[in-house]
Structure 1
Amino acid sequence: MPSLVPHLAAVIFVSALAACGEPSSQAAKAGPPPRPVLVKTVAYADRVTERSLVGTIRPRVETDLGFRVAGKVARRLVGVGDVVRGGQQLASLDEVDLGLQTEQAEAEARAAAASLRQAEADLVRTESLTSKGYSASASLDRQQAVTEEARGRLLRAERAMTLARNARSYAVLTADADGVVTATSIEPGQVVTAGQAAIRLARTNEKEAVVSIPESLLSLAKGRAAMTLWSNPGTRYEAKLREFAPSADPATRTYLARFSIPAADETVQIGMTATVTIAVPDRERVARLPLSALFNQGTGPAVWTVGTEGRPTLKPVDVAAYEAVEVLIGSGVEDGDRVVALGVSKLDPGQIVRVIEALQF
């Protein structure tokens, strides 16, 4: 019996080794689990070139208002930055001389009217005497001429009186529309001439974004534009090209473009800085993929595609352009192909993967 102990121990040891090695063999036969990969489905679309330009919010109409008559400034009622309404008084002139001119014109009109009444009465008497033979025909002709001259003097006097009254009304400068005062160039006591710029008024009913486009990007003028404010980047406004300069600025060699903002609200204030993004469609069709999908081992750019069997395949592609976070693929993959977006450096051609669809990049 004692001689059987060593043999029994050897059998137990061999059985234990066999039991320990059995799971390892099964694991080796099963292979590694499928690697999860994030994929994006290829979809070709027209290539759209976008460029962003910095602009400034300006009013469409900005007018220098001035008095229509000369005179001495009596009052200036507004300052820079004041919001005014149409018809509101902005400044006024001293009306003393204008009032005297109006009174003079009215007096001349009354005198001309009196002269006309006298001439008409004399004409009636002259006609009566001539019809009875007590007066010569020449006297009647002279009286008719005097009457016509009196009518002309009265008409001139009435027109002069109207002009004088108008000139007196021009002594008050009023806003011709709702807007904001952007500049003033007069002060009380200053003597101004007729038509001299006194107050600059920017109308607030129409606003636009003004940008400078370089010569190399003139095609952007035909694109679809949108605008965002630096102070409020989350709100996007539609913009439409209203005016494009026919020639370049001699100093900057850029073309001035004005984009109207139909939906501008009170948030859009004159003088704010804006970003105008212009999208120009291209005839080329491209597929947008994340930059992390590209794989290059020195033979050119390629991507991993996953078929229905769950095995990745490396396909060379033609890159149309690189952007900030995306790459534009011109060819090499087809619509509907599933391209691995992350972890491309850890894949092998014969490896089995588990697909996870990518929603956003």
Structure 2
Amino acid sequence: MAGSSVSKTKLWMLVISALAISACGDAPAPQQAVIPSVIVNTAHKEMITPKSEFVGRTRASEDVVIKPQIQGQLLRRSYIEGDDIAAGDLLFEIDPSTYKAELAQHQAVLKQAVASRDVAVMNWERGRRLLPDGMISAQDMDELTSRKLTTAAGVVQAEAAVDAAELQLSYTKVYAPISGRISHSKVSIGDIITPQSEMANIVQLQPMWVNFQVAEKGLITAQQQFSQAKNIDMKIEDLVMRLRLPNGTMFDETGHIDFIGNRVDATTGTLAVRATFKNANSLMLPGLFVTLVVESPITENALLIPQASVQEDQQGRFVMVLNDQDEVQKRLVVLGDRFGVEWRVLSGLEDGDRIVVEGLQKIRPGMKVNPVEQEVVPFKEDDK
């Protein structure tokens, strides 16, 4: 019995060994690695117009607060709130009664002063004729002369008081100092107005200013470009300024830079710049946030690549480039402005380099790939 069990055990071991050998003999051959397919594009040069965009805020070229120069009761408002008005239009009238009375009083004083001066002049003339004959003393003549001069000064003083009273009376009517759009009235009929009272304000909408900030880094770059372009006669006024309104549409008029600050703000690291735009139809109002598009007056031949090809890690921005053997290489790049769906390359690539735009997640440097060319869509200036 024991011998029979050992024989059965050996038999099973032989069967298992045979099956194992058979299994090894029938194992399929290892498959070759599949080469991934990727979509590639070619870095290409095109003529472009360099542009930069800045966020700005519109500001009225003139913004005047209307305040009275005298105190009194407001009798009348002579404009329609929110209207466009012209310089010199009557806006408000203040009760003139007190100022008319003061004017009349000073006019009466002036008449007295004129009469006193006339009498003093006649006495002086009489004394001048009597002095040679010794009819009056030199001391009396001096007194007559003093009286004439004093009364003449009194007339001048009285005339000045009348002019001041007339000026105060004129302040009872408040006129528009500039043309523009006026606000709602901040005072009501019957209010007692003082020189501290704010009555309304007027904003001048033509032209319209746009204030924006330029970062110090961009400022230095722009200055270097200007200094290097010695063969190009270009001034800051030649830059074409366009506006994108809050609803995304472009403003009809182009503008120009008319002010550049004289120092960089130490807190923000920016330089204040202002552009001026015609605003004949008063479409723009003060306080709007707009996008200022600054265009260069010259075109440049720039190297462009699709934005989809650009990646970024701790080393910076990079793209995956294929060599002549269709092997993947990582290439660090320095990029400039964006133009439509493409990015300008400042360094790191050359014209004709093949770059991967799709399938980036399944490749790594050194890997061989199957490239599929992507059709290049030419950049249009209107795409930006």
TM-score range, shorter chain: 0.5 to 0.7
Is there any run of 5+ residues in structure 1 with no aligned partner, and where? Answer: 1-36
Conservation of the 8 A alpha-carbon contact between 1:316 and 1:332:
no
Conservation of the 8 A alpha-carbon contact between 1:318 and 1:329:
no
Shift of 1:272: 3.4
Question: 1:33 corresponds to which residue?
Answer: none
The number of aligned residues is: 306
Question: 1:4 corresponds to which residue?
Answer: none
Question: 1:317 corresponds to which residue?
Answer: 331
**1:1-361 map, 5 Å:** 42-43=44-45, 50-53=52-55, 55-78=56-79, 80-182=81-183, 184-194=185-195, 196-211=197-212, 217-220=215-218, 226-231=242-247, 233-235=249-251, 237-238=254-255, 240=257, 242=259, 257=272, 259-266=274-281, 267-277=283-293, 287-291=303-307, 301-303=319-321, 317-321=331-335, 325-329=341-345, 333-335=349-351, 337=352, 339=354, 358-360=377-379
- Amino acid of the structure 2 residue aligned with 1:242: F
Shift of 1:106: 1.4
Is there any run of 5+ residues in structure 2 with no aligned partner, and where? Answer: 1-38, 223-238, 312-317, 361-367
Cα 1:110–1:48 change in 2 (3 A) is: same
Separation in 2 of the partners of 1:183 and 1:258? 31
Separation in 1 of the partners of 2:303 and 2:158? 82
Provide, for residues 13-45 of structure 1, a one-character-per-residue CA deviation record: whole Å limited to 9, x for no partner: xxxxxxxxxxxxxxxxxxxxxxxx996562289
Separation in 1 of the partners of 2:166 and 2:306? 75
Conservation of the 8 A alpha-carbon contact between 2:40 and 2:371:
no
Conservation of the 8 A alpha-carbon contact between 2:206 and 2:278:
no
Give the alignment's Cα RMSD to 1 decimal: 4.5
Conservation of the 8 A alpha-carbon contact between 1:317 and 1:329:
no
Conservation of the 8 A alpha-carbon contact between 2:208 and 2:278:
no
1:146 alignment partner, SS class: helix
Shift of 1:120: 1.0
Shift of 1:56: 3.2
- Amino acid of the structure 2 residue aligned with 1:233: T
Separation in 2 of the partners of 1:277 and 1:84? 32
Cα 1:45–1:333 change in 2 (3 A) is: farther
- Amino acid of the structure 2 residue aligned with 1:199: A
* % same residue: 15
Cα 1:185–1:326 change in 2 (3 A) is: same
TM-score by length of 2: 0.63
Cα 1:174–1:153 change in 2 (3 A) is: same
Shift of 1:87: 0.5
Separation in 1 of the partners of 2:371 and 2:335? 31
Q: For structure 1, which segment, 120-129 or 42-51, has the greater mean C-alpha deviation from structure 2 after superposition?
A: 42-51
Provide, for residues 174-206 of structure 1, a one-character-per-residue CA deviation record: whole Å limited to 9, x for no partner: 111111123543222222223543221212233
Provide, for residues 233-255 of structure 1, a one-character-per-residue CA deviation record: whole Å limited to 9, x for no partner: 13364453736596578xxx797
Separation in 2 of the partners of 1:272 and 1:234? 14
Question: 2:22 corresponds to which residue?
Answer: none
- Amino acid of the structure 1 residue aligned with 2:94: L
Separation in 2 of the partners of 1:81 and 1:258? 30
1:110 alignment partner, SS class: helix
Cα 1:221–1:92 change in 2 (3 A) is: farther
Separation in 1 of the partners of 2:75 and 2:264? 44
1:288 alignment partner, SS class: strand
Separation in 1 of the partners of 2:347 and 2:133? 115
Provide, for residues 221-243 of structure 1, a one-character-per-residue CA deviation record: whole Å limited to 9, x for no partner: 67676432124613364453736
